[in-house]
Structure 1
Amino acid sequence: MYCKKCNSKAVIRVHFNSLPLCATHFSEWFESKVEKTIVDYNMIQRHETVGVAVSGGKDSSTLLHVLSKLSTKLGFDLVGINIDLGIDGGTQYSSLSTQMAIKNFELTGVRYKVLKLKESYGFSIDEAKTRIRRPVCSTCGLVKRYVLEEVAKGLGANVLATGHNLNDMAQFVMAGYHTGDLQNLARLRAVLPAENGYLKKVKPLFLSSEKEIMTYALMNKIPFMVDSCPNNRRVGGPTSDKLRKMLEATEDEIPGFMTRLVENFEKRIRPFFEDLPKYNLGKCKICGKPTNSDREICSFCALKIKMGGAKENVT
């Protein structure tokens, strides 16, 4: 298989249009694709400051490197954010992930901040796992959403970028259809506008497949964590994992299936959800962040109280 542009050895065939590319021309194609996604979906404006969440995995590390290259061309500033969640699992997972994130921050020259959850909030995910009656992945997601927002604001960012890829988005869409959860589908957006005091959230890789991202990372020698989070290692896998495998198998049979699924959802289906009733939000009496009107304390502060890191009478 030879590159369509230079006839040298190809490293990947882009299935959507059956385009074989060498390492150099694939990297150029991939970067152009991410740039087009950012521009087409109005994700980042000139002179904005973008906080990029980097876990140390391939997706977020690749996003950091690509945004670093595009920042000058598109005229935005970039800051990196990593959270040491305190997940060990016998492998020092969080510690190694943070080390990998720092390595990528230094390679790109992006200024950054590492926040240690235990030092800043008084508990780790490993501790919460043993004390909170809630799925650990749900707790972790809650923590990351809250803390990333806080750190990004502290660094002067007005946009927060995450490394969700095409496979992730296709899985979220199918899971929403499967469960009939319209509220979650309504919140599933490539660009979540700034509202209710929150930063704008963007997913620049939401049309880039896991295979494309992995190839880019390998071809450009981007260091990343190979091991997955120890909390995700389940025998057999939950329904969402089976949906993901089904989607990826369908993609092999019908190239471009996931792209069409996600693009059609974003452009043609999700707009119909705009008329769904929205939650009436109040303010958390501890941190002042939005919370459901029937709750005086937001979910994160409730978690801190249970973990002994906050008091209910704080205003």
Structure 2
Amino acid sequence: MRRCAKCGKKAQVFLPQHRLSLCGEHYIEWFENRVERTIREFRMFSRWDKILVAVSGGKDSLSLWQALIKLGYDADGFHINLGIGNYSEMSNQIALKFACKVGRTLHELHLAKEVMPVPDFRDYDKRPACSLCGTLKRYYMNKVAKELGYSVVATGHNLDDESAVLFSNALSWNIEYLERQYPVLPEENGFVKKVKPLCKVSEKESALYAVLSGIEYVEDECPMAQGATTIDYKLYLSQLEEKMPGIKLRFYSEFLRKLYPILKTQEQKAKLQKCKVCGEPSISDICSVCKLKIKISSRKYIHDQHGE
């Protein structure tokens, strides 16, 4: 029987990559300390910053929000209702319930009111729904954070997410994306600072923290994500992790330590300007979100005229 390395009680958790056994209480402490160390390592923010946590209703974002609050940070939540039927309604209710439980503000935005529900995009744009959804979420996270006076946006991207994206970009040597794959994107050119405090925490570790902390979360994957290649990459890397514990952390950490600094010195940043429609930063006169809105409005107008 394994014993907790801290107190000697019966261990509830064994972390093979760290060769560490812990009871529930000390695992929660370990998780929060790991988040704190990551924040300090990458100088993500201080206790004087106002932090807006992107909250989906899943284990990662809710675990991050709770950890930040317990660590003494000024953190509120921001939830985007994607309009994906029961999945979105359940996510929204769980996020609201959690905000009430921890006594913090949850700002909400309904995509159906701003643009349209995510499932309807297929009628107006050929791009994958996940791609469009990601673009819209990044846009509104940045826009809302600035409007509400938050200095940092924190997302719940975990080690599995980051290593899978890194694997994907390395397979195609997508330098443009590799140059930006860092857990901190600084405040510049109209963008609020964005950080990923869970970048060194695995999906399993995040789930364990949620369960042991009594956090209710949405367990189902987004139904629109079915067939995404990232899911396959996560599976391949998890199979490697089973055989070689710690391989995902080494893969990601060594990229940040060895390759990222080289890429950073050669990075050529795109020239940005203000979107003529909404004022948000854009590489062209009109940003991608406003272009999407214009396309949707035009298609609706043509459809209405045809219908008449």
Q: Please indicate, yes or no, whether the TM-score normalized by the shorter chain is above 0.5.
A: yes
**Residue 299 of structure 1 is aligned with which of 272, 288, 296?**
288
**Residue 138 of structure 1 is aligned with which of 128, 131, 134?**
131
**Residue 112 of structure 2 is aligned with which of 92, 113, 118?**
118
Query: Judging changes above 3 Å, is the alpha-carbon distance between structure 1 residues 110 and 283 closer, same or farther for their aligned structure 2 residues?
Result: same
**Residue 109 of structure 1 is aligned with which of 77, 100, 103?**
103
**Residue 84 of structure 2 is aligned with which of 78, 87, 92?**
87
Query: What secondary structure, in the 3-state scheme, does the structure 1 residue paired with 2:134 have?
Result: helix
> Which amino acid in 1 is paired with 2:240?
T
TM-score, normalised via structure 2 length: 0.92
Aligned-pair CA distance for 1:278: 2.1
Query: What secondary structure, in the 3-state scheme, does the structure 1 residue paired with 2:45 have?
Result: coil
Aligned-pair CA distance for 1:144: 0.4
Distance in 2 (alpha carbons) for counterparts of 1:86 and 1:241: 22
Count the aligned residue pairs.
Answer: 296
Query: What secondary structure, in the 3-state scheme, does the structure 1 residue paired with 2:166 have?
Result: helix
Distance in 2 (alpha carbons) for counterparts of 1:47 and 1:170: 31
Distance in 2 (alpha carbons) for counterparts of 1:222 and 1:105: 11
Contact 1:85–1:117, Cα closer than 8 Å, also in 2: yes
**Residue 192 of structure 1 is aligned with which of 166, 170, 185?**
185
**Residue 170 of structure 1 is aligned with which of 156, 163, 170?**
163
Query: What secondary structure, in the 3-state scheme, does the structure 1 residue paired with 2:78 have?
Result: strand
* 2:275 corresponds to: 284
Query: Judging changes above 3 Å, is the alpha-carbon distance between structure 1 residues 57 and 111 closer, same or farther for their aligned structure 2 residues?
Result: same
Query: RMSD between aligned alpha carbons?
Result: 1.4
Contact 1:79–1:155, Cα closer than 8 Å, also in 2: no
Aligned-pair CA distance for 1:276: 2.5
Query: What secondary structure, in the 3-state scheme, does the structure 2 residue paired with 1:308 have?
Result: helix
* 1:34 corresponds to: 35
2:254 equivalent to 1:241:
no
* 1:225 corresponds to: 218
> Which amino acid in 2 is paired with 1:97?
S
* 1:312 corresponds to: none
> Which amino acid in 1 is paired with 2:267?
L
> Which amino acid in 2 is paired with 1:10?
A
- CA displacement, residues 151-184 of structure 1 (integer Å, 9 cap, x when unaligned): 2222210100000000111111111110110001
Aligned-pair CA distance for 1:258: 1.1
Distance in 2 (alpha carbons) for counterparts of 1:153 and 1:276: 26
Distance in 1 (alpha carbons) for counterparts of 2:82 and 2:230: 23
2:175 equivalent to 1:182:
yes
Large movers: runs of 4+ above 3 Å: none
Distance in 1 (alpha carbons) for counterparts of 2:134 and 2:89: 18
Deviates more, 1:7-16 or 1:30-39: 7-16
Distance in 1 (alpha carbons) for counterparts of 2:110 and 2:134: 16
Distance in 2 (alpha carbons) for counterparts of 1:307 and 1:175: 31
User: Unaligned stretches of 5+ in structure 2?
Assistant: 299-308
Distance in 1 (alpha carbons) for counterparts of 2:17 and 2:50: 33
* 1:63 corresponds to: 64
2:209 equivalent to 1:212:
no
Distance in 1 (alpha carbons) for counterparts of 2:277 and 2:246: 47
Aligned-pair CA distance for 1:2: 2.1
> Which amino acid in 2 is paired with 1:160?
V
- CA displacement, residues 29-61 of structure 1 (integer Å, 9 cap, x when unaligned): 111111111111101123110000100001101
Contact 1:82–1:98, Cα closer than 8 Å, also in 2: yes
Distance in 2 (alpha carbons) for counterparts of 1:58 and 1:217: 6
Deviates more, 1:28-37 or 1:151-160: 151-160
- CA displacement, residues 2-47 of structure 1 (integer Å, 9 cap, x when unaligned): 2122222212111222111110011111111111111111011231
Distance in 2 (alpha carbons) for counterparts of 1:144 and 1:260: 29
Contact 2:273–2:282, Cα closer than 8 Å, also in 1: yes
Deviates more, 1:146-155 or 1:162-171: 146-155
Distance in 1 (alpha carbons) for counterparts of 2:171 and 2:118: 29
Contact 1:122–1:308, Cα closer than 8 Å, also in 2: no
- CA displacement, residues 243-271 of structure 1 (integer Å, 9 cap, x when unaligned): 21121111121111111111111222111
